[in-house]
Amino acid sequence: MTTTRVAVVGAGRMGQVHCRIVSENPRATLAAVVDPFEDSGRRAAEQHAVPWFATLDEAITATKLDAVIIAVPDKLHVGVTVHALEVGLHVLVEKPLADTLEGALTIAASAEKSSSKVLVGHVLRHDPRFRLAANTVCSGKIGESVHVRASRIVPRSVGVANRGASPIYMYQGIHDIDLVQWITGSPIVRVCATTACKILPALGVEGVDVALILCELEDGTIGSIEISWALLDSAPSGLASSFELYGTEGTLKVDVTAEGVDLLTADGHSLPNTVLSPELDGSLEGVVPQQFEYFLQMIEFDRPSRIGIDEAVSAARVLDAIGESLTTGAWAKVRL
């Protein structure tokens, strides 16, 4: 059976997850791990018995590749993604598409000229709960959108681990920015953002604890997006998150704090992960592996991406406006 040969670029936390997902898929072969840091790169490569390379060029020269998964830090997405597209590799790039609007536009221009498949890792596009929500709104059952509210609260250990490498509204908020625009079917045109920080500074870590973003959409819908890593690590679920939409004919709510299993044992109370990437019978399942499975189907069966490059760029435009609002302390228009 022919398999798709994949290199994972970036051996950090998500890169290691991607390595495992590729290795566990029978229709794919993990062909290489690419990371400029030899210690982490070799460690991930040896774990899966594949070669390590410091650069993508070295991997391309030494081994046959069909595709790459780009899991390097946001600020490095542009160079490696454009290079992969220029040499004809299919690309799954982690969200956000880039850390700047200009970078996102650069990748989009390269993708437009390439025949390669591109999937941006907005993983919630593969979550059946949010796909159902988007389809329901699109069907007209809720009527016209009036207002929308999205929240995503994660444990403070996530903020500690991030150490200011990526702003909270980019690292986490990109999910909800995309959800708001995708599910309502209308782009965000204006934002006003503010932040607060008490927890991370007390821990000696750079960054803010929470970002609150008010937004106006092109169709007149108004909304709020709340992103925080203030949750105690002892919380029964590692995620307190919901999406609510109120329309002229009905309402819709997706609550992902609990995922269907409530567990109480001598060790305590927990709401185990059953959807994102749970480990079951020794393998990772859920929407993160499903994202890779869909990427393979794009390559093998010419399926369209579940998120267009233009939609990923639209999310980058909103990130750009949020940054402007935080700088000026005022409302900022989303640049078109």
Query: Does the residue 304 lie in any domain?
Result: no
Q: What pLDDT score was predicted for residue 141?
A: 97
89/118 same-domain check: yes
Query: Does the residue 299 lie in any domain?
Result: no
pLDDT digits (tens, 9 = 90+) for 70-122: 999 999 999 999 999 999 999 999 999 999 999 999 999 999 999 999 999 99
CATH number at residue 54: 3.40.50.720
Q: What pLDDT score was predicted for residue 276?
A: 85
Average model confidence (pLDDT) for the chain? 96
Structural domain boundaries, residue 28: 4-123
184/89 same-domain check: no
As a whole number of angstroms, the distance between CA 216 and CA 94 comes to 27
pLDDT digits (tens, 9 = 90+) for 199-239: 999 999 999 999 999 999 999 999 999 999 999 999 999 99
Q: Is the pLDDT at 277 greater than 90, yes or no?
A: no
133/214 same-domain check: yes
Residue 296 CB-density burial (10 A; 0-12 exposed, 13-18 middle, 19+ buried): buried
pLDDT digits (tens, 9 = 90+) for 303-322: 999 999 999 999 999 999 99
Tell if the pTM clears 0.75, that is, is over it: yes
As a whole number of angstroms, the distance between CA 7 and CA 331 comes to 42
Query: Does the residue 306 lie in any domain?
Result: no
67/144 same-domain check: no
Query: Does the residue 103 lie in any domain?
Result: yes
Q: Place 168 in a pLDDT band, splitting at 50, 70 and 90.
A: very high
**Mean pLDDT value across residues 6-34:** 97
53/195 same-domain check: no
CATH number at residue 223: 3.30.360.10
Q: Place 164 in a pLDDT band, splitting at 50, 70 and 90.
A: confident
The domain tally of the chain equals 2
34/68 same-domain check: yes
90/139 same-domain check: no
Query: Does the residue 307 lie in any domain?
Result: no
Q: What pLDDT score was predicted for residue 149?
A: 98
65/166 same-domain check: no
Q: Place 159 in a pLDDT band, splitting at 50, 70 and 90.
A: very high
Q: Is the pLDDT at 23 greater than 80, yes or no?
A: yes
Q: Is the pLDDT at 189 greater than 90, yes or no?
A: yes
Q: What pLDDT score was predicted for residue 153?
A: 97
Q: Is the pLDDT at 193 greater than 90, yes or no?
A: yes
Domain boundary among 106, 123, 140: 123
Query: Does the residue 8 lie in any domain?
Result: yes
38/84 same-domain check: yes
14/115 same-domain check: yes
Q: Is the pLDDT at 2 greater than 80, yes or no?
A: no
51/167 same-domain check: no
Query: Does the residue 297 lie in any domain?
Result: no
Query: Does the residue 303 lie in any domain?
Result: no
Domain boundary among 123, 154, 180: 123
Domain boundary among 95, 123, 151: 123
195/251 same-domain check: yes
Residue 85 CB-density burial (10 A; 0-12 exposed, 13-18 middle, 19+ buried): buried
Name, in order, each residue with C-beta under 8 angstroms of 19's C-beta and a sequence gap of 6 or more: 8, 11, 30, 33, 44, 47, 48
Q: Is the pLDDT at 194 greater than 90, yes or no?
A: yes
